[in-house]
Amino acid sequence: MKIRNLSEQNSVLHQFMSELRAVDVQTDRMRFRKNIERIGTLLAFEISKSLEYVPNTVLTPLGEKHSFRLAKPVVIASILRAGIPLHAGLLDVFDQAESGFISAYRAYSEDHGSFEIKVEYQAIPDLTNKILILADPMLATGRSLLACCEKLLEEMKPAELHIAAVIAAPEGIDYLQKHLPENTTLWIGEIDEALNAQNYIVPGLGDAGDLAFGPKL
């Protein structure tokens, strides 16, 4: 698996990321969603540089221009619910992409000591020979991401798999590295220190779903 960490280079990503993490800014839900969306746009632009393009001639009012267009269709699939604002940012760049949605959640044991990943709802277009971008803002253990990937790839074979995450923990990166095909690329905003006992990313930002949409029961 190839890993691309966008924060290795200076860009406005640092600004968006700082706002996203800051407790006093997080109280503004609209800004929180918007910052995830803006990071999605930056991630998508970086992904776009790695894709294949084919010649495309366009007619302007004054003549012909030999240009390029994407060689393969793009599908953006997001893990509900925290993936929704990231999805919107990715769609800003890949504006003709098809969209897919899949739900995954941690079902905790009674003593909260362990959990299993439940993948339930999915609404996914045909992925065959397309560029699949799977969006999940927080790559923590990597278990829900892998469960979703396995579900999506069960019957369909995309040409390329890209994972888009805002913040990743080293544990999640290692887990995906062990389990995903080598030709996968993981695009990350920033890599954090570790997971805590509850499998939250530290320092992270908290619960991305709750911050974007409000606490759930």
Q: Contact residues for ligand URA (CB under 6 A)?
A: 82, 138, 140, 200-201, 204, 207-209
Helices and strands of the chain, counted as H and E runs: 7, 12
State the Cα–Cα distance between residues 90 and 200, nearest whole angstrom. Answer: 24
Nearer to ligand URA, 39 or 140 (CB): 140
Q: Which two tokens stand for residue 72?
A: 């393969």
Do 66 and 18 contact (CB within 8 A), yes or no?
A: no
Nearer to ligand URA, 13 or 169 (CB): 169
Q: Closest separation between CB of residue 208 and ligand URA, Å? A: 4
State the Cα–Cα distance between residues 27 and 41, nearest whole angstrom. Answer: 22
Q: Closest separation between CB of residue 40 and ligand URA, Å? A: 15
Q: Closest separation between CB of residue 198 and ligand URA, Å? A: 9
Q: Closest separation between CB of residue 92 and ligand URA, Å? A: 22
Phi/psi at 99 (5° precision): -120, 145
Nearer to ligand URA, 93 or 166 (CB): 166
